[in-house]
Structure 1
Amino acid sequence: MNNELSLKSYVVFMKAAKSVQERSKRDIESHGINPTEFMVLEVLYHKGKQTIQQIGQKILMTSGSMTYVIDKLENKGLIKRESCPNDRRATHVVITDKGISFMDEIFPKHENMIEQIFGVLSEEEKKVMIALNKKIGCSTD
């Protein structure tokens, strides 16, 4: 086994991930929200009404932290809470019309930014990259 090549792979992977993450963060913050708020809005924008727990599972965040983010987005008028009629213990989070308009405006720009980053890869390279990243991710479980 070539430990040196594994270490080099790790360093290159982490540097690339950090670079992409920083570019994405700058893009998102240019719209007046932070990356966590964006992730919550994106889930609601694409998946519709969700419980706080469901959102947390999708973006890998604890419910305690989620409450803070939900409060911030609610104060901005981008989302609202609704009681669940079938379970009084559960609260649904719903994107508002203002939130939908906001995402209608910024999501295509964000999507274009991601295309700029990954546009240097061919379709085949993207497929290989996805497969390799899944393979790495599954090996760490």
Structure 2
Amino acid sequence: MTKIYANSGTHLFLLFWKASYSVMQYDEASVARAGFSSLSDFAVLEVLLHKGSLPVNIIGEKVLLTSGSITTAVQRLEKKGLVRRERGAEDGRVVLVHLTESGRNRIEEAFALHAADLDQLFEAFDESERESFAALTRKIGERAARLM
């Protein structure tokens, strides 16, 4: 059996994987506490809150959903009255998604709760550690993308 050495690529990956799994569970619980049963619904509303109205396909790219999944999520949110869709004025093939007033109120409140939860999680890091963490995660993400 092959031994996994401390700080080897395998060891670092396992640490990263386990930590990311725990962080995602914490994130999903936070989103649920904010009143959402679906992480994808929260993510769609959040991207619209911060980026404004966007085409369906761009939202899908930003929240890491496939074409079919983003369409289903937008339809679900539309049925709840949280978003509305409209064809682009210049290009009728483009479908823009907009927050409704109800959707904006809902995500603003939920995002504030969620942001407070994430701030609490990352209180484990001081400011210097936060800067290092941000730089290191960007660096490994960019390297992985280049090596694919």
Normalised-by-shorter TM-score class? over 0.9
Matched, 1:19 2:22: yes
| Identical counterparts, % of pairs | 35
The answer on whether the counterparts of 2:56 and 2:96 sit within 8 Å (CA) in structure 1 is yes
Deviation at 1:56, TM superposition (A): 1.2
Question: Aligned pairs, how many?
Answer: 139
SS at match of 1:137: helix
Paired residue type of 2:24: Q
Gaps of 5+ in 2: none
Q: Distance in 1 between matches of 2:13 and 2:75?
A: 37
Match of 1:108 in 2: 112
**C-alpha separation in 2, matches of 1:46 and 1:57:** 15
CA distance in 2, matches of 1:139, 1:33: 34
Give the superposed CA RMSD: 1.2
Q: Which residue of 2 aligns with 1:99?
A: 103
- Cα drift, residue 26 of structure 1: 1.2
Matches of 1:75 and 1:33, distance apart in 2: 15
Match in the other structure for 1:88: 92
Q: TM-score, normalised by structure 2?
A: 0.89
Partner of 2:55: 51
Structure 1: runs of 5+ lacking an equivalent:
none
TM-score (norm 1): 0.93
1:29 maps to 2:32: yes
